[in-house]
Chains A and B, each alone.
Chain A
Amino acid sequence: MAETDIRITAEPIDENRCKFVVSQPVLAGGVRRFAAAGEAHGSPLAEAIFAIPGLGVSELIVSGNIVTVVKQAPMPWQAAGRAVGAAIRAALAADVPAVTPARKPATGEGLAVTDDALYEQVAKVFDEQVNPMVARHGGRVELIDVQDAVVMLRMGGGCQGCGMADVTLRQGIEGMLAQLVPAVRGIVDITDHATGSNPYFQASKK
């Protein structure tokens, strides 16, 4: 596909984090988190984004057609977004995969608790506690993956696009995981909230 056919929508979350929704899959059927430039080797898109001058990228998450970039530099997303967009277009236009799938560490490798074990524990919390609660507002929370003890989740139903989704995430889910699965180091919401068609609470004031 030509670079000009690729449409990218930037959705800044705050000054440091921005979600880029791409018109085609970047990593079909999977999710990959890069916590440092050294982890980007072999994934051209990640290598390119970590190498953007002056951006200070500290984290990159690729899931389906969503690329979430975390930067440390004060550079506004106006400028940063163009560089990230160009990197995404170039990587997708190349003949090699933009991102290689995550390599699951062998049991006992690196972390005290493996991501697989964490996945099971988090999935249990989601199934038995989180989802029965958010279902009362027609919502659901899907565990996408756990990488380097960071949970990647996607919100759906009444939670997708909900005006209070951040409160559910930070005050509810994050607190529950901190208590019940303390080995979790962070949570990343990879939901495309802009396409939520039936949010439980919809922002309506000026």
Chain B
Amino acid sequence: MPRLLLLLPTSTYRTAAFVEAARRIGVELTVASEQPSTLEAANPAGFLTLDFEQPERAADAARVFATQHPINGVAGVDDNTALVAAAIATRLGLKGNPVHAAMAASDKFLQREQLAQAHVPIPRFVLRNLEEDPAAVAKSIPYPCVVKPVRLSASRGVIRADSPQAFVAAHGRLRAILQDPATAAACGDRARHYLIEEFVPGYEVALEGLVVNRRLHVLAIFDKPDPLDGPFFEETIYVTPSSVPAGLEAAIEDCAERAVRALGIVEGPIHAELRYNERGPCLIELAARPIGGRCSAVLRFGDQGVALEEVILRHALGMPIPSLQRESLAAGVMMIPIPGAGTLKEVSGVAEAKAVPLIEDVQITALPGERLVPFPEGSRYPGFIFARGETPRDVEAALRAAHQKLGFTLLPQQPPASGVGPTPP
């Protein structure tokens, strides 16, 4: 029986989905995390502790582990572990991306440099040092612009500025975020820099894909019906199939495929964000990992409704994939907007939200007593709503109706002195 090395950060939402997928396909599973399990001694072949911040060191440890327990495939679930998976795949000769490709996919500056060289349409950008005088920088850039951290994900720290004054304010907020010790450690050297890029007006879509032997297979294109015009970029609704015209859809897919080639991604899942307007599609981000959070639950493939995680694990192990064709129903997810700053006391209306026609599930992931931090300092949504129906329009309407049923009671909380968001445990 083949053995899969699954790289699961202890803070991921995806544990159950990936572990259950591994069980369904019947493989020997080794779960690697950045912190040891208390049961590691009881099942040495089933657990591994790896330093996800040091991919090469993690690859060394995996190589040693594999001498005792041969590994047939490796899979990461987020940006960090995608990079570690690439290092391990390279070291052990497994299916996966080269390290430079995974690195480019997780570093927004490297990514933009390589995409620009390959003439993939992207926003104009420049990398600046956080220590530069923001007032001076503000005079040298066109507006509207967007400031972005180089390494953070989930739109954390991403702020639009329409004027020099707004830019200086945005710089201050981003600087505070990047100076948070945990964030700085996670970003490494990149915590000292940030990107300024052109704001691209238009509609935004997300593209989910699987690269198989250098070829991109598009699994789904999601519309994002809520405008993402800033000043912050909190995601809300994803609905698939997309309503973009067929010709434009082909252009979006072509843009993503060119980006995959430019970055050197040869295997595994990708998640891309693109905007389109009268000039055509423009790639905003591309990550060598699957869609985040619990959003993957909306994707099912083939007659059997195979989950995205199963597709990813089968691909990593070189096992047959029953289908890459998404089901015929429309599906959608709402990342529940953060209702404000404060400590969560209670959430009401969950049963009523679940009772809305077409709603499949409402998952409240924030716990009572948890501190909620709005964007751009925060990035943790309080929960997710899932719906499935005949048309994307029906699904979107159901998601909005269900959200209307929810009530969040927050206790006020003094903002922290630094203004930074939560840190993972």
Contacts and interface: CB of A to CB of B under 8 A. Distances in A.
Pair from one complex? yes
B39 A134 contact: yes
Interface in B1-29: 8-13, 15-17, 19-20, 23, 29
Contacts of A74: 303-305
Contacts of B363: 11, 194
B361 A171 contact: no
Instruction: List the 6 shortest-distance A-B pairs measured between CB atoms, nearest first.
Output: A172-B39, A206-B154, A78-B360, A201-B10, A171-B46, A206-B292
A13 to B, nearest CB: 7
Given A205-B11, A205-B293, A171 B367 contact: no
B247 interface: no
Nearest to B329: A76
Contact of A172 (B10, B46, B368): B46
Interface of A: 7-15, 74, 76-78, 81, 129-130, 133-137, 139, 161, 163-168, 170-173, 175-176, 194, 196-197, 199-206
Interface stretch (B51-59, B110-118, B130-138, B350-358): B350-358
Contacts of A203: 11-13, 15, 365
Nearest to A130: B39
B413 interface: no
Given A13-B20, A167-B15, A171-B46, A134 B351 contact: no
Nearest to A17: B20
Given A81-B360, A167-B47, 18 more contacts: A9-B351, A10-B354, A14-B307, A77-B361, A78-B387, A166-B19, A167-B19, A168-B37, A170-B23, A171-B31, A171-B43, A176-B42, A176-B43, A199-B367, A205-B379, A206-B153, A206-B235, A206-B292
Contact of A171 (B37, B368, B422): B37
B381 interface: yes
Interface of B: 8-13, 15-17, 19-20, 23, 29, 31, 33, 35, 37-39, 41-43, 46-47, 78, 153-154, 235, 292-293, 300, 303-305, 307, 335, 350-351, 354, 358-361, 363-365, 367-369, 379-381, 387-388, 422, 424-425
A14 B360 CA distance: 12
Contacts of B154: 205-206
A166 to B, nearest CB: 4
A202 B305 CA distance: 29
Contact of B38 (A10, A76, A133, A196): A133
